[in-house]
Amino acid sequence: MAKHKKPNRPPRSGARSGPRSDFETGRSDPSHRADRTRGPRGTEDGESEALRRVLNTNNQLLYGAHACLAAIANPERDIHRIVLATQSADELEVPVCDAANAVFAECQVTRPKIEWRDRREINDLLPRDAVHQGICIDTKPLPHPVLEDIIDDAQGLPSACIVVLDQATDPRNIGAVMRTAAAFGAMAVVVQDKHAPDITGALAKAASGAVERLPYIKVTNLARTLDQLKAAEFWCVGFDGQAQDYLSGKTLQGRNAIVLGAEGAGLRRLTRETCDLLVKIPISDAVESLNLSNAAAIALFQFAQSNS
């Protein structure tokens, strides 16, 4: 099989000039592709065992098309391996090559050659319920952002939004909130370090690429963080089902911290007391409450509408 390379293309608008990487897929050698009719390769050649050891001690395994493509295109990511299922070649090979070539054209960041494996070999790497869509990558975690940098970036902006999650622990819920927050232009998602998860494969998959574009900030004390945001002229609005006031078009004008509690538990007492204002989303009596990601979507949509 002839070596497959992406054809040269003109740099995208704003891309830096200079050498271009023709990202190779590693398919020139037929052994890179597992036989589609076979099960996982045996351990006689060591490949399956090596694949199971894909993670270094401090690395993480991301999976899912949107999450992995966004990571490949992110110059801040240090990626060690890109593993694709042979069964997904038609859907994923070109997007992976495009993402790798784009990040090289813009930032001279290179990516490793694609490794081809049977889908069932990738299944063995991941949690049982992981929907990997035929792709996973071995990558170092992103640098840890800090709240002070976000506050500095917000200086002088007429409107800005930071999402603060109190007691949120489910990575899929947090990932869904991050996806919505990125869609509506939030500057960061803040969680409490003690209870919230790190960025994992499940969280990144639910975020659908948002973890590459939106800072995920872990803090020790949420009440102290809200005080810090107040000092930076953010209006801290807590969403609480027992609040007296309803969310309205004027609630989230300007610079806001949208403070949301976990499903069931809601906001803790100290968090509620530290907020400038408590509001609730008007819903019918047919349901007791909205889930976290839905409440975040409504709040963020209202923020975008109020500041458009």
pLDDT per residue, tens digit, the chain (308 aa), is 333 344 343 333 333 333 334 555 554 333 333 333 333 333 334 444 545 555 445 688 999 999 999 999 999 999 999 999 999 999 999 999 999 999 999 999 999 999 999 999 999 888 888 899 999 999 999 999 999 999 999 999 999 999 999 989 999 999 999 999 999 999 999 999 988 899 999 999 999 999 999 999 999 999 999 999 999 999 999 999 889 999 998 999 999 999 999 877 789 999 999 999 999 999 887 877 788 999 999 999 999 999 98
Q: What are the strands of the beta sheet with 79-85, ordered from one edge? A: 60-63, 135-139, 79-85, 114-117
Return the DSSP state at 184.
T
pTM of the model: 0.82
- Left, alpha or beta for 167 (phi > 0: left; psi -120 to 50: alpha)? left
CA neighbor of 190 nearest in space, from 202, 177, 203: 177
Distance CA 88, CA 70 (A): 18
Task: Say if strands 216-219 and 114-117 run parallel, antiparallel, or are unpaired.
Answer: unpaired
pLDDT of res. 23: 59
Distance CA 118, CA 33 (A): 8
Listed in order, strand segments (DSSP E) in the chain are 60-63, 79-85, 114-117, 135-139, 160-166, 188-192, 216-219, 235-239, 245-246, 255-261, 277-280
pLDDT of res. 15: 34
